[in-house]
Amino acid sequence: QVQLVQSGAEVKKPGASLKVSCKASESTFTSYYMHWVRQAPGQGLEWMGIINPTGGSTNYAQKFQDRVTMTRDSSTTTLYMELSSLRSEDTAVYYCAASSGYYSPYFDYWGQGTLVTVSS
Amino acid sequence: DIQMTQSPSSLSASVGDRVTISCRASQGISTYLAWFQQKPGKATKSLIYAASNLQTGVPSTFSGSGSGTDFTLTISSLQPEDFATYYCQQYYSYPLTFGGGTKVEIK
């Protein structure tokens, strides 16, 4: 059973940085590419980027290129998404999602989501 | 970027009804299309990939069709657990993009 367990809700101030974690089982970590997707309140879904957990290579959406960093820790099979210079528009639920391929990146599994609120 | 347009944005239906949701891509994407389901408080569930292939464990009341720019998700007989919001997503090219969602509500 593939499980992606994300860290808990956070409240951040504008200008701060955010780091969300997504813990995967070992088999998931080595077999799947991991994506980060966000959903602002009442809004649609927005793809932020992808990381190859085994090699660490990444591909970020242009919109987030300057502010996002996706990393992984092989020792704990945990993926991280860090977003800097937060603003109110970054208030959203952030999801990790797993795809088995880079060139056919449909999501097989999703994390439960992490609510991030950016407010002064 | 490829724009994905879903219609309708919401619909009301009764248990047992046949429901159809449309998704249109701004350019041809072959069959590189997925559908998934969101319910409040529940993990997002992937339903279909490659336009018409059901993910493991997805009931056969769900089906998908289409290729190129026009796609359809059909629920042949709506069940109480199917009331949710449905999204399409293209994976023909990066950045991955999503439809705006269709909320299926109880009539």
Q: What is the pLDDT of residues B25-58, one digit of tens each?
A: 999 999 999 999 999 888 899 999 999 999 999 9
Mean predicted confidence (pLDDT) in A86-101: 96
pLDDT value, residue A118: 98
pLDDT value, residue B78: 96
Q: Is the pLDDT of residue A1 over 80?
A: no
Residue whose C-alpha is closest to residue B34's, from A104, A59, A39: A104
pLDDT band at A18 (very low <50, low <70, confident <90, very high): very high
Shortest CA gap B14–chain A (Å): 24
Per-residue pLDDT tens digits for B55-83: 999 999 999 999 999 999 999 999 999 99
Mean predicted confidence (pLDDT) in A51-61: 92
pLDDT value, residue A45: 95
The two three-digit tokens of residue A58, written as one number: 């990444």
Mean predicted confidence (pLDDT) in A94-115: 94
Q: Is the pLDDT of residue A64 over 80?
A: yes
pLDDT band at A27 (very low <50, low <70, confident <90, very high): confident
Q: Which residues are CB-contacts of A73 (< 8 A; sequence separation ≥ 6)?
A: A80
Nearest 5°: phi and psi at B84?
A: -170, -175
Contact A107 B95 (CB under 8 A): no
Contact B49 A106 (CB under 8 A): yes
pLDDT value, residue A93: 97
Contact A105 B97 (CB under 8 A): no
Q: Is the pLDDT of residue A55 over 90?
A: no
pLDDT value, residue B41: 85
Contact A35 B96 (CB under 8 A): yes
Euclidean distance between CA atoms B29 and A14, whole angstroms: 38
Lowest-pLDDT range, A21-25, A40-44, A111-115, B51-55? A40-44
Write the CA distances from B36 to A17, A27, A92, B55, integer angstroms.
30, 23, 19, 10
Handedness of CA B52, B55, B56, B57 (dihedral sign): negative
Q: Which of A45, A59, A93 to mutate to test the interface with B (most CBs of B within 10 A)?
A: A45
Contact list in B for residue A45 (CB cut-off 8 A) is: 87, 89, 98, 101
Contact list in B for residue A59 (CB cut-off 8 A) is: 94
The size of the A-B interface in CB pairs under 8 A is 54
Shortest CA gap A84–chain B (Å): 20
The share of chain A scoring above pLDDT 70, in percent, equals 99
Contact A62 B95 (CB under 8 A): yes
Euclidean distance between CA atoms A79 and B97, whole angstroms: 22
The share of chain A scoring above pLDDT 90, in percent, equals 82
Handedness of CA B75, B78, B79, B84 (dihedral sign): positive
pLDDT value, residue A2: 74
Residue whose C-alpha is closest to residue B4's, from B31, B27, B32: B27
